[in-house]
Amino acid sequence: MKVHTPHNLDICASVLTIGALDGVHRGHQALLSKAKIRAEELDVPFVVYTFDPPPKVFFRNCLLLTTLEEKLERLENMGADHVIVGSFNELFAKQDIPVFIKELKEICPIEIWEGPNFLFGKNRKGTIQTLSQHFNVKIQPPVICEKGEVISSSRIRQLYKEKNSTQANHLLGWKNSLIEI
Ligand SMILES: Cc1cc2nc3c(=O)[nH]c(=O)nc-3n(C[C@H](O)[C@H](O)[C@H](O)COP(=O)(O)O)c2cc1C
Ligand SMILES: Nc1ncnc2c1ncn2[C@@H]1O[C@H](COP(=O)(O)OP(=O)(O)OP(=O)(O)O)[C@@H](O)[C@H]1O
């Protein structure tokens, strides 16, 4: 797996997933697995575009579930061929959506895989519909836990706050998920 800064990956076809992916939890894992399978079927590299720190950590000071190093390790485990890491700061967040779309076009995605409620870009104004105007977007149905709740980084952060690290680690689904709080 190769790690890149934005605008530094030169490929002519890919399957792409974009996301903060903090924790690379069981919902992310299902999404990434699907995208990886499609990349293999299409015989193109599987590219993940992620952000460091996760936007919610940057804007709202949320608990960080995985350091960049841990996240990259997990993404490698999920079969990512290339990871683009956008350093998330004020300047990055100010980029207009068409600018970000133009950057994504550099990666030439044949398919972009996301979950159903994916929002992106400045002020979270970009939707699946926005993305679909430019790319072939595929949706992974939401992965829910045994209790019927959608697995999310926010839910896992909440479980850690409630000191329920057993359930948090269960939703993360990685053996070495140990956050001390
Ligand atoms: C160019 C760009 C600008 C962004 N600006 C904002 C922003 O102003 N406010 C915000 O909450 N998130 C912003 N984000 C983060 C997105 O809303 C979103 O968190 C990110 O695309 C990852 O999606 P995910 O949270 O579903 O993983 C921006 C993302 C990008 C790519
Ligand atoms: N449970 C899930 N099932 C399927 N896809 C998911 C799930 N959770 C997140 N995704 C998808 O993973 C991608 C990255 O999402 P993101 O990193 O924002 O995860 P999140 O768990 O929703 O985070 P947060 O709770 O901090 O908003 C998005 O396309 C999102 O829709």
Instruction: Look at residue 178 and tell me if it is in a domain.
Output: no
What whole-number percentage of the chain has pLDDT above 90? 94
pLDDT of 180 > 80? The answer is no
* pLDDT over 90 (residue 69): yes
pLDDT digits (tens, 9 = 90+) for 109-132: 999 999 998 999 999 999 999 999
Burial class (CB in 10 A: 0-12, 13-18, 19+), 19: buried
Q: What CATH number is attached to the domain comprising 29?
A: 3.40.50.620
Nearest to 135 by CA among 152, 159, 118: 118
pLDDT on residue 175: 76
Q: 68 lies in a domain?
A: yes
Assigned domain for 90 exists: yes
Q: Report if residue 154 sits inside a domain.
A: no
Domain residues for the domain of 95 are 2-143
Ligand nearest to the CA of 24: 2
- Ligand 1 atom with the smallest distance to the CA of 86 is 31
Encoding tokens for residue 78? Answer: 């999920």
Instruction: Evaluate whether residue 173 is within a structural domain.
Output: no
C-alpha 56 to ligand 1 mean position (Å):
8
Choose one of 17, 21, 28 to mutate for the ligand 2 pocket test, by most ligand atoms within 8 angstroms of C-beta: 28
- pTM of whole model > 0.90? yes
pLDDT at 140 over 50: yes
pLDDT given for residue 178 in this prediction:
55
Q: How many domains does the chain have?
A: 1
Long-range Cβ contacts of 11-14 (<8 Å, 24+ apart): 11/44, 11/45, 11/47, 11/82, 11/107, 11/108, 12/108, 13/42, 13/44, 13/45, 13/108, 13/109, 13/110, 14/39, 14/44, 14/45, 14/46, 14/47, 14/82, 14/107, 14/108, 14/109, 14/110
